[in-house]
């Protein structure tokens, strides 16, 4: 068993036995099947390829004409049900026991990879491996009432060597500010920035699947009308906790369902322009994938080139990792595609040489582990108390010491150090530890007493304070050995101050003038105090990451503001809006309507916008004040440096006094050194506050822009629905109806919903008697279609409005 640790969780991987990767082949049905060239074995686990000799090369030529490939299964004229039963069912079942799994579809373009993985969403019977895997996961969860199982999903697309989240179009996700990256840690490989979504039921999972499918990049060429132009990885994350046991152990697993883009021969596909660039990236990444597979199959290779492409890097755990791996190769059965078929079969045979080591992923919850350890500790204390009573050791106490006992031990340690106590009685291990702790306390107190005694006699400067030491060095207060005045032994720290009685002569008037000038400047600037920039109060999204480091300030926001500013739509429909005033014959000007909107339905957004704007103005004002204080401190530092140089020049003219080889300065020069040190400290503090304020200003400006965009967007929706929708259709927007504001475009408020509802009713009548389990599938499909139609119509309206 291998143990890994991360944060509050401990990861245990129960090592399994190594096994080969399973490789299956699915042949695309065709009327022009090459029976003379392609032969299947009797056990349906081998394919033989035969090519006729090319007579143009002569009678004698050594070109290979026969190939034989051993596989785990050949699926010819197989239904979607049979494909899933053969390829994926056992792998998905083991995932709920804690084993990771990966299913990969590989082959040339147009060979049926996407149909095998996703299937046809129009027909429930033709659904592919991915929706069937989701169904099996939720069916098995229902059969395991003793476990609390959580399911999450993600959908990743790799297009032209760039990572994209296919579920980022959901309203509560939004586009990522930073590009996604592949990150490795001791627990494996994960995609930073990829959204992972919790699914509580089968219909939610299907909705996420269909949402991602609508965002995939496809194109048409001569070999495939709907050719995938990117690699896609749909991942199902499973986490299972026991309901009956209080054990801290639980299991996790993930299923990677990979739909690779097909390899292309540019001469056959006829790709040009953008499609040519896409085909180049696809063929390049598939070539790197094959290189990684060849390296994994070679037992003598130490280095595996996973980092050559984003595809191999993202699948590092799946290729030769601790998971069950299945490859499904899709091929053509036509003679014209025989070269690509041979290439795909070679890849499948190489994949069979790769070995994996499936292992159960066990994790331990730190909080539950602590509770169990506390229970075990209490039981051990009880057993120890019973053992002590049987051994007549009734005075032993294993509980933590209280303040009275600690004070008694402290008193014993002090008497032992003074010599009044010859030895300390040892009772138990806890008392020994506390004795050593009190020795340390007494030693620390004595060091503080010595330091306070020195400070009463001398003016001390810490040697770790480089600013003060630098000022003293500039003033020329070091002897030939580099020791400070008042430092006879070269250790400790100190600076002697010459008393007033020993100063010769009178102070010049210029010295007094400098002193008065600095004093008045200090009084003017001393009234201002640095303002802390840590009271940021703004309305932000619940799911939005805060760029400022002051996360504690965001948590103190009022609950109402935080809920209002979340990414969910604002509750614009309320019972107060049931009564509508008579609509004017012509729409009012937008500036007038905008003022009405801000006072009525958009009042909450407008309030948040004004609050954020006021906070932004306040931060700008504070930044300006801080800048003025920094400039004032800088001017005062310059004056202090001039005065310090002036004092040094006077000391050099009058003659320098030494005491036992150490330089002596007067009190005024020493005070100037201390003042310069304090000014530098204030300057650094104010500059740090200014940097914090600038970060807050940048973040507040982002929030203000976001609120402004939200306000204008909501106004456009309200304006169209209030003045362009016919009055007899306004009832559809009343509270409690199935249509929310902004959900349906202006010209198709009723017709779209009715058309989709009619379609759904027809599907239910036709398909549900044949497949009663298909209701979640069709519910998710209809919702996705409605959203797609709505987005298309809104885009058309926006384009027409621009024209």
Return d(Cα 5, Cα 781) in angstroms, integer. 42
Strand ranges (E), 1-129: 2-6, 9-14, 19-20, 22-27, 38-40, 46-50, 66-70, 73-76, 100-107
Return d(Cα 355, Cα 297) in angstroms, integer. 8
Does 188 show up as a binding residue in the annotation?
A: no
H helices within 530-602, ranges in order?
A: 551-555, 559-564, 590-599
- The residues near 496 (Cβ < 8 Å, ≥ 6 apart) are 458, 459, 485, 486, 659, 662, 664
781 touches 760 (CB < 8 A): no
Strand ranges (E), 547-670: 657-659, 662-664
First to last CA, the chain: 67
Does 593 show up as a binding residue in the annotation?
A: no
Return d(Cα 544, Cα 211) in angstroms, integer. 22
Return d(Cα 385, Cα 398) in angstroms, integer. 9
- The residues near 157 (Cβ < 8 Å, ≥ 6 apart) are 163, 164, 165, 166, 215, 216, 217, 230, 231, 232
CA distances, 267 to each of 110, 139, 217, 446, 475 (Å): 15, 47, 22, 89, 82
Q: In which residue are the tokens 């300030």 written?
A: 553
Return d(Cα 149, Cα 14) in angstroms, integer. 20
CA distances, 759 to each of 253, 619, 648, 770 (Å): 38, 56, 95, 17
**323-343 burial by CB neighbour count: b if 16+ within 10 A, else e?**
bbbbbbbbbbbbeebbebbbb
Burial of 58 from C-beta contacts in 10 A (0-12 / 13-18 / 19+):
exposed
255 touches 235 (CB < 8 A): yes
Q: How many CB atoms lie within 10 A of CB 691?
A: 13
Does 522 show up as a binding residue in the annotation?
A: no
Burial of 746 from C-beta contacts in 10 A (0-12 / 13-18 / 19+):
middle
CA distances, 625 to each of 76, 348, 524, 533, 697 (Å): 79, 70, 15, 12, 14
Does 267 show up as a binding residue in the annotation?
A: no
Return d(Cα 242, Cα 251) in angstroms, integer. 9
Does 431 show up as a binding residue in the annotation?
A: no
133 touches 257 (CB < 8 A): yes
Return d(Cα 494, Cα 590) in angstroms, integer. 75
**Quick one: tokens of 591?**
């500036």
Does 199 show up as a binding residue in the annotation?
A: no
Q: Which long-range contacts does 778-786 make (Cβ < 8 Å, 24+ apart)? A: 778/124, 779/203, 779/206, 780/203, 780/204, 780/206, 780/207, 780/209, 780/210, 781/121, 781/206, 781/210, 782/756, 783/207, 783/210, 784/207, 784/210, 784/211, 784/214, 785/756, 785/759, 786/752, 786/753, 786/756
Largest Cα span, the chain = 123
Return d(Cα 263, Cα 285) in angstroms, integer. 10
Burial of 297 from C-beta contacts in 10 A (0-12 / 13-18 / 19+):
middle
H helices within 241-318, ranges in order?
A: 266-269, 274-297, 310-314
Half-sphere exposure of 247 (CA within 13 A, CB side): 12
Binding residues: 107-114
Which residue positions form the known binding site for ATP? Answer: 107-114
């Amino acid at each position: 068993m291998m143990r890994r640790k991360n944060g509050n969780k401990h990861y245990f991987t129960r090592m399994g036995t190594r096994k080969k990767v399973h490789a299956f082949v699915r042949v695309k049905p065709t009327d022009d099947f090459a029976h003379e060239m392609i032969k299947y074995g009797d056990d349906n686990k081998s394919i033989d390829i035969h090519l006729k000799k090319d007579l143009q090369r002569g009678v004698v030529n050594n070109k290979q004409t026969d190939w034989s490939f051993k596989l785990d299964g050949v699926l010819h004229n197989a239904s979607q049900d049979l494909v899933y039963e053969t390829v994926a069912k056992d792998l998905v079942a083991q995932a709920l026991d804690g084993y990771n799994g990966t299913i990969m579809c590989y082959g040339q373009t147009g060979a049926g990879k996407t149909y095998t993985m996703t299937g046809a969403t129009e027909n429930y019977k033709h659904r592919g491996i991915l929706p069937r895997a989701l169904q099996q996961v939720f069916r098995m969860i229902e059969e395991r009432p003793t476990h609390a199982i959580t399911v999450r999903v993600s959908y990743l697309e790799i297009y032209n060597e760039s990572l994209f989240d296919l579920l980022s179009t959901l309203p509560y996700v939004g586009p990522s500010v930073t590009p996604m990256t592949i990150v490795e840690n001791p627990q494996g490989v994960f995609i930073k920035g990829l959204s992972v979504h919790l699914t509580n039921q089968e219909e939610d999972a299907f909705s996420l699947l269909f949402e991602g499918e609508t965002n995939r990049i496809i194109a048409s060429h001569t070999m495939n009308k709907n050719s995938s132009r990117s690699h896609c990885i749909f991942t199902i994350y499973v986490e299972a906790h026991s309901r009956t046991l209080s054990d801290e152990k639980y299991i996790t697993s993930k299923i990677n369902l990979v739909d690779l883009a097909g390899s292309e021969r540019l001469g056959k596909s006829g790709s040009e322009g953008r499609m040519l660039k896409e085909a180049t990236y696809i063929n390049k990444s598939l070539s790197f994938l094959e290189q990684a597979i060849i390296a994994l199959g070679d037992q003598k290779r130490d280095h595996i080139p996973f980092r050559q492409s984003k595809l191999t890097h993202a699948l590092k755990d799946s290729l030769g990792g601790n998971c069950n791996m299945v490859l499904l190769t899709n091929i053509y059965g036509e003679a014209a595609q025989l070269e690509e078929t041979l290439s795909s079969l070679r890849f499948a045979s190489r994949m069979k040489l790769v070995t994996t080591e499936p292992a159960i992923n066990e994790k331990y919850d730190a909080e539950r582990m602590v509770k169990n350890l506390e229970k075990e500790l209490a039981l051990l204390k009880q057993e120890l108390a019973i053992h002590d009573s049987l051994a007549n050791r009734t005075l032993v106490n294993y509980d933590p010491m209280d303040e009275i006992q600690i004070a008694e031990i402290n008193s014993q340690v002090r008497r032992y150090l003074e010599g009044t106590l010859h030895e300390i009685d040892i009772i138990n291990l806890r008392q020994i530890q506390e004795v050593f702790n009190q020795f340390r306390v007494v030693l620390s107190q004595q060091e503080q007493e010595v330091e306070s005694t020195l400070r009463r006699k001398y003016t001390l400067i810490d040697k770790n304070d480089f600013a003060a030491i630098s000022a003293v060095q500039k003033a020329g207060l070091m002897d030939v050995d580099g020791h400070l005045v008042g430092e006879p032994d070269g250790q400790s720290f100190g600076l002697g101050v010459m008393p007033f009685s020993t100063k010769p002569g009178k102070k010049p008037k210029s010295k007094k003038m400098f002193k008065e000038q600095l004093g008045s400047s200090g009084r003017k600037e001393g009234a201002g105090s640095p303002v802390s920039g840590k009271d940021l109060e703004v309305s932000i999204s619940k799911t939005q990451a805060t760029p400022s480091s002051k996360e504690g300030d965001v948590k103190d926001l009022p609950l109402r503001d935080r809920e209002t500013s979340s990414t969910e739509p604002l509750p614009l429909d309320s019972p107060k809006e049931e009564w509508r005033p008579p609509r004017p014959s012509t729409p009012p000007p937008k500036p007038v309507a905008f003022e009405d909107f801000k006072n009525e339905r958009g009042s909450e957004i407008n309030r948040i916008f004004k609050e954020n704007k006021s906070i932004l103005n306040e931060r700008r004002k504070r930044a300006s004040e801080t800048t003025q204080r920094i400039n004032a401190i800088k001017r005062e530092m310059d004056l202090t440096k001039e005065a310090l140089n002036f004092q040094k020049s006077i000391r050099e003219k009058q003659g320098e006094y030494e005491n036992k080889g150490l330089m002596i300065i007067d009190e005024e020069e020493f005070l100037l050194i201390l003042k310069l040190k304090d000014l530098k400290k204030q300057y650094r503090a104010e500059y740090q506050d200014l940097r914090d304020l600038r970060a807050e200003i940048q973040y507040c400006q982002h929030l203000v822009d976001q609120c402004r965009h939200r306000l204008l967007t909501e106004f456009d929706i309200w304006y169209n629905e209030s003045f362009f929708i016919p009055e007899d259709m306004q009832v559809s927007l009343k509270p409690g109806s199935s249509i929310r504001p902004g959900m349906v475009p202006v010209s198709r408020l009723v017709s779209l919903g009715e058309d989709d509802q009619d379609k759904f009713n027809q599907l239910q009548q036709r398909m549900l008697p044949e497949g009663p389990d298909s209701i979640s599938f069709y519910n998710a499909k209809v919702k996705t279609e409605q959203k797609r139609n709505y987005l298309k119509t809104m885009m058309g309206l926006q384009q027409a409005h621009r024209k």
